[in-house]
């Protein structure tokens, strides 16, 4: 029945696609003998046939039915997708077919499936609701072989009742094994391999290793990496490829490159930075400025489809933690050969852009170059020299001081131009965590951002835009960085909430994207700034990578990409290769097609979300560890969120957030007004609303649940 292509002698005469075509032709489930009969297949190909059937099963295209037959998944009211369990315990299957809505799955209908598993879900007929309801009938792929759990108590001679550290895994574990040198203690964190479901809500598991005490900052980092599948050790073949690269670029590498080693390039980064993607140089010219942005030429050393490249695609980006980093490339590249370290020659891709005296964009050119950074500067160092006019610091950086002063002038002009076009600048503070020698947090402060940070940001934005415009004009496939405009109903809801803050009367009433910039400027420097920025950020859509030209709302940019960090973002490496292709650089005659780039972009978007979730979780965990040492202390804070059971408070004295639960306030009965997003006392009319300043004390901390619980000071109750 199925028309087959000619095969070489010794090759199986059918393919997995032939099997799928057969299902579509006969329009019914098939047994093993049916495959031989309809495909005119000799039983000598049994192993090949079984392998193809197994492949199609794992891919979710077909499923084994009772009675030994296989059916085409999409014809059986069966849908493949990924199970996402919410902290409440209910689940949703996110279908592989993005045209389908998510499918609700009640906890009793999970079967043996766990959060993150790729599953087959059977639709339950007759359901009427927002989401179709389903029952999981098969697990195609486990999200993880091992899980982390917390020891609760000893059970029997060698067993331990444990609870997964990921609250979305809503079962208990009976762990056993003799791999540990000593018996695990209560609240010790273990890595275990689930074996089988003993009964509803209980799995047996084999102990793999102990991570250590839950109250150890280093243990918490490893825990988060494991829970979010953050890659750690590099495969041997990747390390071998990195080891084979030279320590320094050779004269051969300089051929066909513009030599810019005479220019006073500098890198400006944080104190603890180890990999330097970008270096800048600025000259003032008769009627404007010329900006050179040099970016590490990673693509010269990492060939497409090499072991290094395949691993980088899989990792997608580097993953940053308070005390460690899991880099996209081995340190021989990320901290060595590709890092723009001072006083050594380095290969770079350069965006050279001319700007008129008012900061208006002129024209750009791009080319491979060799540079030599003249100084490795820090943001604070530049601030002291340029803005504080510290004479000692100015003397230290004297060789590049005049260049930096021109750079400051240009950065101000570029910032003004961005403001004019409607770009949004969110100033939400980040945490700066200080650790002692044992790795325990001893302080959590707010990172100080000043114009030295913004200066580099302006130059990177300018370079990214220039490259994106050039590649768009050349019709070369690459990855855009896009940011959709917020949905109008969310924008309307945001403005309603903003008008209930203490600055509400100052804000414009029209919920337009243009007025968002006005709101942020009014809130800047006030006690309400944090809340306004946080609420506005929550309204924003997620920025993402796509091979299709779209705009970037947050930057008010018509054309944008990521070009400036190829050491730590794979998207930038794609852009570098596309740029070399458009410039007709030898060796880059071919470039990945649009569809292939789009597929990679979707993977990068997923991994970026993983990185963001992991960074948020480790910050919560480290914050909880630190706050354990502050129980009983008093704080002042701003209400940053309100719910029917209490309100969250962002503390001023320490970069941390905690919750005041209504159950701890006994002066009245409080009603939650969802439309006003506030709590109001029935008798006293006392209210708790966004942006309100309150005085609290720290009552207790639950590290396992990442909870910081606050109470109002007695004199304020």
Is 622 among the domain residues?
Answer: no
- pLDDT score at 126: 59
Residues 390 and 473 in one domain: yes
Q: Provide the CATH number for the domain around residue 123.
A: 2.40.50.140
CA 265, distance to chain mean position in Å, is 31
Residues 283 and 371 in one domain: yes
Is 581 among the domain residues?
Answer: yes
d(CA 145, CA 132): 29
Report the mean per-residue pLDDT for the chain: 90
Q: Which residues contact 673 (CB under 8 A, 6 or more apart)?
A: 679, 680
Which percentage of the chain shows pLDDT scores above 70?
A: 97
Largest CA distance in the chain: 89
d(CA 437, CA 452): 30
Where is 460: in which H helix or E strand?
A: helix 451-474
Q: Which of 540, 564, 582 is the last residue of a domain?
A: 540
Checking if the pLDDT of 4 tops 60, the result is no
Question: Structure tokens of 464?
Answer: 């990214």
Q: Are strands 646-651 and 634-643 parallel, antiparallel or unpaired?
A: antiparallel
DSSP state of 108: G
Residues 370 and 449 in one domain: yes
Angle at 80 between CA 78 and CA 84, to 5 degrees: 120
Residues 375 and 408 in one domain: yes
Checking if the pLDDT of 125 tops 70, the result is no
Q: Which of 591, 617, 643 is the last residue of a domain?
A: 617
DSSP state of 254: G
Checking if the pLDDT of 7 tops 60, the result is no
DSSP state of 346: E
Instruction: Read off the pTM.
Output: 0.85
Is 526 among the domain residues?
Answer: yes
Contact at 8 Å (CB) between 279 and 265?
yes
Q: Which residues contact 44 (CB under 8 A, 6 or more apart)?
A: none
What are the distances in angstroms from CA 464 to CA 39, 573, 574?
54, 13, 13
Residues 572 and 438 in one domain: yes
Domain that holds residue 96: 77-141
Is 441 among the domain residues?
Answer: yes
Rounded-to-5 percentages of helix, strand, coil across the chain: 35, 30, 40
Q: What is the mean pLDDT of residues 309-322?
A: 96
Is 418 among the domain residues?
Answer: yes
Question: Per-residue confidence at 1, pLDDT binned at 50, 70, 90?
Answer: very low
Is 7 among the domain residues?
Answer: no
Is 611 among the domain residues?
Answer: yes
Residues 294 and 179 in one domain: no
Residues 298 and 395 in one domain: yes
- pLDDT score at 10: 61
Checking if the pLDDT of 60 tops 80, the result is no
Q: What is the mean pLDDT of residues 58-78?
A: 76
Question: Structure tokens of 460?
Answer: 């990177």
Number of structural domains the chain divides into: 6
- Residue ranges in 554-593 assigned as alpha helix (H): 570-582
User: What single string gives the DSSP state of each residue in 309-377?
Assistant: HHHHHHH-B-EE-SS-EE-SS-HIIIIIITS--BTS-EEEEEEEEEEETTS-EEEEEEEEEEE-BSEEE
Task: Tell which residue, 482, 481, 493, 484, has the closest CA to residue 536.
Answer: 493
Residues 610 and 645 in one domain: no
Which percentage of the chain shows pLDDT scores above 90?
A: 62
Is 348 among the domain residues?
Answer: yes
User: What single string gives the DSSP state of each residue in 675-713?
Assistant: TTTEEEETTT--EEETT-EEEEEEEEEETTTTEEEEEE-
Higher pLDDT, 127 or 506: 506
Residues 513 and 555 in one domain: no
Residues 576 and 471 in one domain: yes
- pLDDT score at 8: 52
d(CA 337, CA 341): 9
- Digit-coded pLDDT (tens) for 426-460: 877 788 999 998 888 999 998 888 899 999 999 99
Task: Tell which residue, 198, 191, 163, has the closest CA to residue 177.
Answer: 191
d(CA 653, CA 631): 14
d(CA 213, CA 205): 20
Checking if the pLDDT of 9 tops 60, the result is no
Q: What is the mean pLDDT of residues 316-342?
A: 94
- Digit-coded pLDDT (tens) for 175-199: 998 888 888 999 899 999 999 888 8
Lowest mean pLDDT among 140-144, 485-489, 526-530: 526-530
Question: Structure tokens of 224?
Answer: 């988060």
Residues 240 and 370 in one domain: yes
Q: Which of 214, 248, 273 is the last residue of a domain?
A: 214
DSSP state of 322: S
What are the distances in angstroms from CA 650 to CA 527, 678, 680?
11, 16, 20
Strand partners, 204: 174, 196
- pLDDT score at 297: 97
Residues 472 and 496 in one domain: no
Q: Which residues contact 691 (CB under 8 A, 6 or more apart)?
A: 501, 502, 503, 527, 528, 531, 532, 638, 639
Checking if the pLDDT of 386 tops 90, the result is yes
- Digit-coded pLDDT (tens) for 167-178: 888 889 999 988
- pLDDT score at 112: 84
Count of beta carbons in the 10 Å neighbourhood of residue 310? 14
What are the distances in angstroms from CA 456 to CA 346, 433, 565, 583?
20, 23, 13, 26
């Amino acid at each position: 029945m199925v028309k087959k292509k000619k095969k070489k002698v010794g090759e199986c005469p059918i393919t997995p696609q032939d099997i799928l075509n057969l299902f579509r032709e006969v329009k019914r489930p098939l047994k093993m003998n049916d495959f031989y009969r309809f495909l005119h297949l000799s039983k000598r190909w049994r192993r090949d046939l079984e392998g193809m059937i197994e492949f199609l099963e794992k891919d979710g295209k077909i499923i084994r039915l009772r009675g030994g037959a296989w059916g085409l998944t999409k014809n059986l009211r069966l849908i493949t997708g990924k199970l996402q369990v919410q902290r409440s315990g209910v689940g949703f299957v996110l279908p592989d077919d993005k045209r389908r809505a998510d499918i609700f799955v009640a906890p009793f209908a999970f079967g043996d499936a766990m959060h993150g598993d790729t599953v087959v879900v059977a639709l339950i007929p007759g359901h009427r609701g927002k989401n179709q309801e389903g029952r999981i009938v098969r697990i195609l792929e486990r999200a993880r072989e091992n899980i982390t759990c917390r020891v609760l108590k000893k059970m029997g001679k060698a067993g331990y009742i444990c609870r997964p550290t990921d609250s979305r895994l809503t079962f208990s574990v009976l762990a056993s094994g003799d791999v540990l040198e000593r018996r695990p203690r209560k609240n010790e964190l273990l890595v275990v391999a689930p074996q089988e479901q003993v009964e509803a809500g209980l799995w047996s598991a084999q102990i793999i290793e102990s991570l250590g005490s839950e109250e150890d900052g280093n243990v918490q980092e490893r825990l988060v990496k494991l829970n979010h599948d953050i890659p750690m050790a590099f495969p041997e073949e990747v390390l071998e490829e990195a080891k084979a690269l030279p320590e320094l670029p050779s004269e051969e590498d300089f051929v066909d490159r513009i030599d810019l080693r005479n220019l006073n390039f500098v890198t400006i980064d944080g104190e603890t930075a180890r990999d330097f993607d970008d270096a800048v140089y600025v000259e003032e010219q008769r009627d404007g400025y010329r900006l050179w942005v040099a970016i590490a030429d990673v693509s010269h050393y990492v060939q497409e489809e090499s072991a290094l490249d395949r691993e980088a695609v899989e990792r997608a980006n580097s993953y940053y933690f308070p005390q460690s980093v899991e880099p996209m490339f081995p340190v021989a590249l990320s901290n060595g050969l590709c890092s723009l370290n001072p006083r050594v020659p380095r290969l770079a891709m350069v965006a050279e852009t001319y700007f008129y005296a008012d900061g208006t964009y002129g024209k750009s050119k791009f080319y491979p170059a060799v540079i030599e950074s003249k100084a490795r500067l820090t943001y604070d160092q530049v601030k002291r020299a340029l803005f504080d006019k510290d004479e000692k610091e100015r003397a230290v950086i004297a060789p590049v001081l005049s260049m930096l002063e021109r750079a400051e002038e240009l950065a101000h002009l570029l910032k003004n131009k961005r403001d004019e076009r409607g770009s949004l600048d969110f100033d939400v503070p980040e945490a700066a965590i200080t650790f002692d020698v044992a790795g325990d947090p001893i302080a959590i402060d707010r990172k100080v951002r000043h114009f030295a940070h913004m200066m580099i940001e302006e130059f990177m934005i300018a370079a990214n835009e220039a490259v994106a415009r050039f590649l768009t004009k050349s019709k070369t496939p690459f990855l855009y960085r896009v940011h959709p405009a917020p949905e109008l109903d969310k924008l309307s809801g945001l403005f309603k909430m903003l008008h209930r803050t203490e600055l509400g009367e100052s804000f414009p009433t029209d919920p337009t994207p243009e007025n968002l910039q006005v709101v942020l400027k009014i809130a800047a420097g006030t006690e309400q700034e944090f809340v306004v920025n946080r609420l506005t950020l929550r309204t924003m859509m997620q920025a993402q990578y796509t091979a299709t030209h779209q705009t970037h709302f947050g930057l008010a940019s018509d054309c944008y990409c990521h070009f400036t960090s190829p050491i730590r973002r794979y998207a930038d490496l794609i852009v570098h290769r596309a740029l070399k292709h458009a410039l007709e650089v030898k060796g880059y005659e071919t470039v990945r097609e649009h569809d292939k780039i789009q597929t990679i972009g979707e993977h990068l978007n997923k991994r970026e979300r993983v990185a963001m979730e992991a960074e948020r979780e480790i910050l919560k965990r480290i914050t909880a560890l630190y706050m354990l040492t502050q129980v009983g202390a008093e704080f002042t804070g701003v209400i940053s969120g309100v719910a029917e059971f209490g309100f969250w408070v962002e503390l001023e004295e320490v970069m941390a957030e905690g919750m005041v639960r209504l159950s701890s306030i006994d002066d009245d009965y409080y009603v939650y007004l969802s439309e006003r997003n506030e709590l109001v006392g029935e008798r006293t009319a006392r209210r708790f609303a966004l942006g309100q300043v309150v005085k609290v004390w720290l009552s207790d901390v639950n590290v396992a649940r990442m909870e910081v619980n606050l109470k109002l000071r007695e004199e304020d109750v």
